[in-house]
Amino acid sequence: MNSNIFRCGNCGQPTAANGVVLPKTDFKRVVSIIEQYGDYRTIKVHGECCYTGGRQNRQEYRRVTRDMAIDAGMPELEGQRIKW
């Protein structure tokens, strides 16, 4: 396996390096490679598959860190995903 395989870090769907969902033929090829060799060497990216509203109106989600939760005065938010 010479090239890198990229997957959405949220749902695991194979994507291109920039997070764009792969065309059907490339998708099948990547899935067969993952089935044959495993996915321990895949690179996780933020895939468009998990954005809502499509490419023009996409919304990003971020995980709330401890510092962010403390700054907001709401420590119970730590670890949750929020729209950014």
Cβ neighbour number for residue 40 with a 10 Å cutoff: 6
Give the number of domains in the chain: 2
Domain extent for 68: 52-84
Paired residues of 44 in beta bridges: 7
Same domain, 21 and 41: yes
Do 45 and 57 belong to one domain?
Answer: no
* Per-residue confidence (pLDDT) for residue 53, from 0 to 100: 44
pLDDT at 84 over 80: no
Which residues have CB under 8 Å from 25's CB, separation 6+? none
Is 32 found in the same domain as 45?
yes
Q: Are residues 23 and 41 in the same domain?
A: yes
Question: pLDDT of 8-61, one tens digit each?
Answer: 888 888 898 888 888 888 888 888 888 888 888 888 888 887 765 445 455 677
Single out the residue of 79, 4, 74, 70 nearest to residue 34, CA to CA.
4
